[in-house]
Amino acid sequence: MFSEQLVDQLFGQFARITGALAAPSRLKLLDQLCQGEQSVEQLAGATGLSIANTSRHLRVLAQARLVVSRRVPPYVHYRLADEAVCRFWFALRDLATERLAEIEQLLRAVSMGEHALESLDRPTLWALAREGRVTVLDVRPQQEYRAGHVPGAVSIPVGELERRLAELPREQEVVAYCRGPYCVLAVQAMVILRRHGYTARRLQDGFPEWRAEGLPVEVGAQ
């Protein structure tokens, strides 16, 4: 039979998880790792943290057994300890969105206005892509695309999009996607495309949600 002391110890173990997540930067790293394994340098570049801070936050997550690492000299790569970690993050994100009205206000600001909220859900995009009715555009950095992407997606990082528009067919709608619902890259791409006369929308969320749903994924360069 549990004593009160043992129960306290049990809840203390639960608190290891919540304590490890009690920093916005560590949540950003978890969100980024839902795409797949990445080096410390890649994670630093994607989250806007210094390499030193990125390493420090990753060690906290590792101590809570949320992430694991492997060394490929001279780099250290991290990945989620289990897909359950990604599912937990999605559930936490959904709960916060449901309970906190401030999140909806921030999402509208991040999405650059009402017009940028126009989006497709994953099943609709997959159906249109299989029928060849849309051009799927991955606007993440190349290394993230190579690690995994929507099948048939064209890779053009958003910073290169203006000068590479000729690679996209004008007669077909373009659907851009990036890292998730809080990533502005796809929104930026949609604005650029529309400014140049393309019909464009974005995926409702991003590649991590696509992969988590078990939809097909390709790896490697296009």
- Residues catalogued as catalytic: 178
Q: CA of 101: how far to CAs of 23, 106, 108, 118, in Å?
A: 20, 9, 11, 20
Q: From 73, 82, 29, 33, select the one nearest 51 (Cα to Cα).
A: 29
Report the largest interatomic distance among the alpha carbons of the chain, rounded to a whole angstrom.
70
Contact 178, 149 (CB under 8 A): no
- Return the amino acid letter for 29: L
Q: Mention every residue, 6+ apart, whose C-beta is less than 8 A from residue 200.
A: 173, 174, 175, 176, 189, 190, 193, 194
For residue 174, the cross-strand partners are: 135, 200
CB atoms < 10 A from the CB of 4, how many? 7
Contact 136, 177 (CB under 8 A): yes
Half-sphere exposure of 87 toward its Cβ, with a 13 Å CA cutoff?
Answer: 7
